[in-house]
Amino acid sequence: MSLPPPADLAIAVLRWLEYVGLLGFVGVVVVRRLAGMQPPIGWARVSMRPAVTAAFIGGVLVLVADTLRAGHPNPAILIRVAAEGVALGLCMYARSWVVPPAIVAVLVLPFAGHAAALQPAGGVLFTDAVHVLSAGIWAGGIFVLATLRPPEGWGAGEGRAMLERFGRVAFLAFAITALTGVLRAASVVADFSSLWTSAYGVVLVAKSAGVLAMVAISVLGWRRGRRYARVDGLLVLLVLAATALMAAYPMPLYPSSVELVSH
């Protein structure tokens, strides 16, 4: 499998930073809401600012790089970056109403990607938006939890209570992520052979393997007090890197000469 052109590879790296910020933000929102349940868990009330900052910086860099490559700004990326900027401003100065603009940025992601190139695009865009949001709840939540250190560890007390709260949410979110992921793949992969004969398909298989590893480690971690939390968090970053790289390759359904809008 050959790497994409240097410009596309650079944009993929910047896109990865934006993805980490956006999906991490969704995870922060989930963890904060779960921590606010009775009885409240104070140490899990993590700050939104790092995730929103990463999303905005990554988004601005993607916008600049994509504009230099295409010769004009992509309206969907402009809207996304504007929403990220509003969210960051509210986070820094108002400290309220941060969630709505940030979620808008998350939901706009598919409008600047491969999904927008498919016809008809409506159903694919909706599926992709649900996929991204549910992935943020599940994988983003795992990533945020991997950065926390409960006073008594994950195997007892508030740490165990937090895992139990998240487990109920994560199960449903993962089911939705898996279903929409299969539907999304079926819409862009022409046949099974494309999974190993195209660069897009190879990266998709690698991403799927990473997701399965996340599931296995999460289940093992929950049973053993999250001994492998850091590994799970690293896998989230790798899966997001594969997602960003996929956008740099043409979909197997179309010839490589077809010009596709990138994230």
- The tokens describing 12, both together, are 């993929």
pLDDT tens digits along 69-84: 889 999 999 999 999 9
3-state helix, strand and coil shares in percent for the chain, rounded to the nearest 5: 75, 0, 25
- The tokens describing 140, both together, are 């983003």
CA distance 132 to 34: 20
User: In whole numbers, what is the pLDDT of the chain averaged over residues?
Assistant: 87
Say what the pTM is.
0.89
How far, CA to CA in Å, does 88 sit from each of 33, 93, 101? 19, 9, 9
pLDDT tens digits along 35-52: 999 999 999 999 999 999
Nearest to 45 by CA among 32, 34, 33, 27: 32
Question: What are the structural domain ranges in the chain?
Answer: 6-246
pLDDT at residue 207 tops 90: yes
Residue 215 burial (CB count, 10 A):
17
Answer for the pair 112, 196: CB distance below 8 angstroms, yes or no. no
What is the average pLDDT across 202-209?
Answer: 93
- Which pLDDT score, from 0 to 100, does residue 260 have? 40
